[in-house]
Chain A
Amino acid sequence: MLIKHSICPSCSVGCGINLINKNGKIVGTYPYKNHPINEGKNCLRGKNIYKIVDENRILIPLKKEQNKLVESNWEDVINLVSNEFKSYSPEEIGILISGTNTNEENELISKFAKGQKITNVGVYADNFPKFNKEIGNYDDLNDAKSILLIGDIIKENPLIGRRIIIAKENGAKIFSVDDVNQTTTSINSTKHFKTFSITKFLEEFPQEIKDELGKSSLIVFNKIDLKEDFDKIVKIAEDSNSKILPVLKDCNSFDAINKVPPLNKEEIAKIINSVKLLLLINIDIFSFFDESEVNIHIPKYLISITHSLNESSSVSNIVLPSYCWAEKSGTFTNTAGEVQSFDRVIKAPENALEEIQILKMIEKKLKA
């Protein structure tokens, strides 16, 4: 039994978590009390996140033959991938990623795309745009006089939620807004506003909240209806001299949206429908698509770099097995903009390769 520090990849807050390694497998978690963000406290998702290491794990490169994925080897699949890349023009190729790749991986992905002149690149980031605004930090929350919460922050990002609870105990006024009547956040708020549209709520922003927002106030939001809502929130914050704290989707969305364009569902669909070859890096496009909502057609050739078999990888032409976060060292930037490094806790399966290595192999083959 060996207990090691890590950073929780289950959301963008960036909590510390200790992983229990027994015989090369992660078997549980242990509180990391010296971590400044969460002081040993983790949410349910965080405590169970280690299970992703073994879930539907892909242990060997796969290629599609007669409409079925069959086992292959690295030489074969890298050859196939590079041949496909060579047979399309850059405009016909797309790369989509999630916010779960490390800073180092994002750097390389962005470089790779530029090198190949591929412009259909993006990270799925809900409706969050790239932004260049000063944001509040977690400690600001504890001492805030008033906080506006957009989305069910307390339930969905509990270790930010905790600081809202502390602020409330210290006398802060908590306002919440959501498109549902009752959430964990709403029942812990001073006042809850139910709205059909966050956009509309921001346009008709209640005077009652405006009156309470000031220098030691924060607007914390984990959902918005439209990209434009972001600017509306920034405007409200600027007018009231308060701070914003956008809570992004994934553990490293903050870095990803600064290195590749952040995309919402429609923009993702546009890329999917316009390219012939699509490379997915640790993203399952079907995990956020409601197919009735957007009509998407799977491109002619789909390549997945991922550690687990999901809906996207199972319909891919090539599946390249990569490392899970606990198997590599790197850095994540949390939603407050803090860079945190984490070390490898366990060894990856024998036939998996680190994302960086996979991309470099493809790059090398394309140059040859």
Chain B
Amino acid sequence: MSSEFLLIRAKDELVCGLGECGGSVTSILQYLLDNDIVDNVLTIKKEGSVYDAVPVLISNSEELNSTAGSLHCAPTMVADLIPKFINDTKLAVVCKPCDAMGINELEKRNQIDKNNLYKIGLNCGGTLMPKQAKEMFELFYEVNPDDVIKEEIDKGQIIIELKDGTEKGVKIDDLEEKGWGRRENCQRCEIMIPRNTDIVCGNWGAEKGWTFVEMVTGKGKDLVNNGIKEGYIESKTVSQKQIEIREKLEGIMINLMKKFGEKHLIIEYPSLEKWDEYWNRCIECYGCRDICPICWCNECEIEKNYMKNSIELPPDPLTFQGIRLGHMSFSCINCGQCEDVCPMEIPISRIYKKMQRKYNEKTEYIAGFSDELPPLFSSTNE
């Protein structure tokens, strides 16, 4: 099914003003909850500042307003929360690309029921770690990070809005050249528009105050059309030029990301000696496995006593990361959560993403997107 495009925004003026670009996502979620099409909405909610957010499950559409707006400085992952804690409900989930990719991999592993799920995708230019974001705003924007009340990524810039209403933007390129900017995983992520969802919303190509929505599935088209019919959103047609602008922006981003992929995974990839040093640090907290949205097994071998070598230090990377690599690296979605939570600063996601990249070159399997499970033992290139 080919995608269809529209410009949409909330009909409710209040909602329209709350959101990033016209409150469309909030309105669509309201429509789904009010009409009992879903029981719950899974999204993220700001906790006190732009640097903090937690996933939240909402069943009352009035509470949705508190979730409006973008939160690039609070890198979350919601995919694995669904099978673990929310598998008993009809759900709409708001997902940035890595959330959507995680969900896709879990669907293929029968951990999430596609039919119970509406996936509302968001364009994503990347996220930042809160601490780095604060230091960066101080250093490059020369502002008190506590004064930042809003932020967005637009036209190659990270733009912040301050308490007093002023806006400041700095080019992402300039920040990242100096070692700041987005999380490393986001820098090399090649998916900005998650077309593995029912609809994808974003501001690329849209005029101010409107959302450019790409309706990917039939379910997505029905959703938007019914939202319009029921008076939650209004729409107008998208011009060819707007579609082209969006495609161009996406293309530029992808090319930039590819360069980062080369940098992180080839040019600056750690040497074997450096990896030995990294493994020395491992305290076997299983943080990387526990946070990994792909690692869903209810029982995991790597924790078994026969896999542990408790007397010998350091832990053998083969009986830990080696096994994980064999189990899931082909499906690694490059979300970077493993690296985010590693207490020992091991750049663990690089090894997984590198492996997936190799696997992708051989099999053309795109983790988080393909409808079929990874072709484990065959290569389409052969």
Contact = CB atoms under 8 A, between A and B. Distances in A.
Interface of A: 1-5, 18, 20, 22, 27-28, 30-31, 33-34, 36, 38-44, 47, 154-155, 158-159, 161-162, 165-166, 169, 182-184, 187-188
A22 B85 contact: yes
Given A182-B313, A188-B281, A18 B54 contact: yes
A41 B86 CA distance: 24
B148 to A, nearest CB: 13
Contacts of A30: 54-55, 81
B300 interface: no
Interface in B271-290: 280-281, 283-287, 290
Contacts of B81: 1, 20, 30
A39 B313 contact: no
Nearest to B133: A34
A38 B285 CA distance: 14
B30 to A, nearest CB: 20
A41 B340 CA distance: 7
A155 B57 contact: no
Interface in B81-108: 81, 84-86
A42 B85 contact: no
Given A43-B343, A184-B281, 16 more contacts: A1-B81, A1-B86, A3-B54, A3-B55, A5-B47, A22-B85, A27-B84, A30-B54, A31-B337, A31-B340, A33-B75, A34-B130, A39-B130, A39-B131, A42-B285, A165-B344
A20 B340 CA distance: 19
A38 B343 contact: yes
Contact of B343 (A5, A18, A41): A41
A187 B282 CA distance: 11
A91 to B, nearest CB: 47
A40 B341 contact: yes
Interface residues of B, number: 35
Interface of B: 47, 49, 51-52, 54-57, 74-75, 81, 84-86, 129-131, 280-281, 283-287, 290-291, 313-314, 337, 340-345
6 contacts: A33-B52, A33-B74, A33-B340, A39-B130, A42-B343, A184-B313
Contacts of B284: 44
B150 to A, nearest CB: 16
B343 A158 contact: yes
B94 to A, nearest CB: 15
B366 to A, nearest CB: 27
A161 B342 CA distance: 12
A159 to B, nearest CB: 6
A3 B56 contact: yes
Contacts of A41: 287, 340-343
Given A31-B291, A39-B129, A166-B345, A187 B84 contact: no
B280 A31 contact: no
